[in-house]
Chain A
Amino acid sequence: MKRIFSVLVENRTGVLWKVAGLFSRRGFNINSLAVGETDNNETSMMTILSDGSPRTLEQIEKQLNKKLDVIKVRTFDENKAVTRELMLIKVKYTKANRREIMETCEVMGAEIVDMSESLMMIQICDSPEKIQLLISMLAQVRIVEVARTGTLALQKCLED
């Protein structure tokens, strides 16, 4: 089972390490992890994607809540959230495939943000699935480097 944990933490030294350490110490998985300050510079939001049995997922939430630097833990399924990830991907192109790469980018809503005679840097900001799809569509091209932010997620704007 996959699950998203939105963890609001105190913006203090060592907090990222403590949270990551908790996962490794207890053998919990981290599929992806993204951290950044919130609108308030005293707090940071950590978005952690994990998977495991229902009991493991419950333990993750409870153990996170035990950490004194953790202010609030929200947890939700992927389908209840909007998820986004940013990827920069650098590929080697030739005259022969340049057009094709540009078309792929256009279809996928990706943008070419830098270019040289043989290299091209593509940026995409989308759901993790779409990003995976772009990578597979570029499989024919030589990928030089990839950098991804990890998934960010917020619960959908449901009003009940």
Chain B
Amino acid sequence: MNGAEAMIKCLEEENVKYVFGYPGVAICPFYDAIYQSDIKSVLIRTEQNAAHAASGMARMTGEAAVCAVTSGPGATNLISGIATAFADSIPMICITGQVNSELIGSDVFQEADITGAVESFVKYSYLVKNPKDIPEIVKEAFYIANSGRRGPVLIDFPIDVQQAEIRNFEYPKEVKLRTYKPTIKGNALQIKKVIRELEKAHKPLICAGGGVHLCNAVKELREFAEEYSIPVVSTMMGIGVLPTEHPLYFGMVGNNGAPAANRAMREADMIIMLGARVADRAVNQPEVLTENTVLVHIDVDPAEIGKNAGAAIPIVGDAKHILQDMTEYEIDGDYATWIKELEGYSRDLKVIRPDHPGFVDPAIFVRKLSEKMKDDAVYVADVGQNQIWSCRNHIVRNGRFLTSGGMGTMGYSIPAAMGAKLAAPSKQVVAVCGDGSFQMSMMELATLCQYDIPVKIIVMRNSYLGMVRQYQHFSLKDRYSMVDIGMTPALDHIARAYDMKYMYIKDMKGVEDKIEAFLKDDESYLVECNIDPMDLV
């Protein structure tokens, strides 16, 4: 058995079903070894999308997904995808081919110092020097990626190590890492303090972030919120922690969030930040947050607590366990008046959008689309105006809402939707992007077509890089520089080129029937929505 075969064996031991990637000489032994394996390899069209596809898959399964690319440009192309996963704490294993060990450092063809380049975007990285270390490294890598605060781990794999013979392959059962022991269970005294504060509070609020999805605590959060009738808002990454129309859910916070949710944040006398970073787009004035509010911050990463806002009660641990522990208490609190107040805000504080006759109204379109989508469907939003229209108007029931929240990487939606669909083939997967973000990953239509992965792609076409245009409108006196992307390419031709069905939606006339038509069968569809170029979020 050679090093590459050992690596594949390790991936099988970790129950890996798919590897997304792109070959080159330096990773050829790896892709040669996968040839005989049951692991399916998906040939992506550019490396960044291999990472996004793995990210989409990991977010559906909750387990690290794998991408593998060649050395040099293959590895450096992967970086934006790794950074995207890192910003959203997505578990991922990135395998990069590397030149012969003895040549590392001599700038030979397709050599790049990838472990150096990704240091600030990975949870950890390895350069495999000795083939006998492979099982231990892979075991550790998966453990690190899948535990604590999730994140990408990179394994740089020189070609000679892939080719070297190894004897006595044995996959370790346990990981021994003296420097890494994430705290899972929350401190009992701190939890008691939270309970005591909840009894004193009149206006408590849970602000749930992506961490709740990452540690699979959606059920626990719902039970906790319902048990004690505590209202919930979410960050962008937290969308879907409660169904959008749940009576205790009041929307997304932040500068693109729901007015009612932001009002709730301002007026709450106690806020439980749950698996959320208190990042700038969600909470733009963290110091105000703590002024008249008891701030409880629950996060598995101690460095996030106190980074942007000083919490009165910090709890380090996994949200799932902490919620379970908290649900065991009797809490003497009545927040009915507060909830009535919030219901009033939801009713009265609506984003009012002007009409755009002759065009598709993206807000109404997203709402109608999500009403027609299956109950457990997956909605993948890209980055730009489409993302904000999606966040504000998509109605989650039992499905998922995926997007690149931390890094805001354009082109995320199509490859992530591909990964999500492969992870959950029975689910309906819809990617929504703008004409800018679509063109950043439209080469993946070839992959969808080649592997017959049915994904619905909605392009909100306004012929502008709309989010930047909007910024220039408000901040730069309508000096639209570098944002006009014209009317090419003709998307119907693109759809035909990739053997996909195509639909053009000019305006709101009969839009519901059109949505039903393109959602009806489990087949790929490219849908172009005609959006007013001057539309704002």
Contact = CB atoms under 8 A, between A and B. Distances in A.
B301 interface: yes
A62 B124 contact: no
B307 to A, nearest CB: 6
Contacts of A69: 179
Interface residues of A, number: 19
Given A68-B144, A68-B177, A71-B178, A62 B120 contact: no
B306 A58 contact: yes
B115 A14 contact: yes
A70 B303 contact: no
Nearest to A8: B179
A65 interface: yes
A70 B179 contact: yes
B123 A68 contact: yes
A62 B300 CA distance: 12
Contact of A10 (B179, B301, B310): B179
Contacts of A18: 119
A71 B181 CA distance: 11
Interface in B293-339: 301-303, 306-307, 310
A55 interface: yes
B179 A25 contact: no
B136 to A, nearest CB: 14
A66 B303 contact: yes
Given A21-B119, A21-B120, A62 B303 contact: yes
A63 interface: yes
B109 interface: no
Contacts of A62: 302-303, 306-307
* Main SS at interface, chain A: helix
A55 B287 CA distance: 13
A71 B178 CA distance: 7
Nearest to A59: B307
A69 B144 CA distance: 13
A66 B179 contact: no
B474 interface: no
A58 B119 CA distance: 22
A62 to B, nearest CB: 4
Contact of B179 (A14, A21, A22, A68): A68
A63 B302 CA distance: 9
Contacts of B178: 71
B303 A59 contact: yes
Contacts of A71: 178-179
Interface string A21-59: 110010000000000000000000000000000010011
B180 A68 contact: yes
A11 B180 CA distance: 16
A45 to B, nearest CB: 14
Nearest to B306: A58
Contacts of B115: 14
Contacts of A22: 120
B133 to A, nearest CB: 12
B303 A25 contact: no
Interface string B95-130: 000000000000000000001100110011000000
Interface string A73-107: 00000000000000000000000000000000000
A63 B307 CA distance: 10
A67 B302 CA distance: 12
B303 A63 contact: yes
Contacts of B180: 68
B513 to A, nearest CB: 53
Contacts of B306: 55, 58-59, 62
Contacts of A63: 303
A55 B179 CA distance: 24
A153 B302 CA distance: 26
Nearest to B180: A68
Given A10-B179, A71-B178, A65 B124 contact: no
B302 A65 contact: yes
Nearest to B144: A68
Nearest to B177: A68
Nearest to B310: A55
Contacts of B301: 66
Nearest to A25: B120
A50 B306 CA distance: 19
Contact of A68 (B120, B124, B302, B303): B124
Q: 10 closest A-B pairs (Cβ-Cβ)?
A: A62-B303, A68-B124, A25-B120, A71-B179, A68-B180, A68-B179, A62-B302, A63-B303, A66-B303, A21-B119
Given A62-B302, A62-B307, 13 more contacts: A14-B115, A18-B119, A25-B120, A55-B310, A59-B303, A59-B306, A62-B303, A65-B303, A66-B301, A68-B123, A68-B179, A68-B180, A69-B179
9 contacts: A10-B179, A14-B116, A17-B116, A18-B119, A59-B303, A59-B307, A62-B306, A67-B179, A68-B124
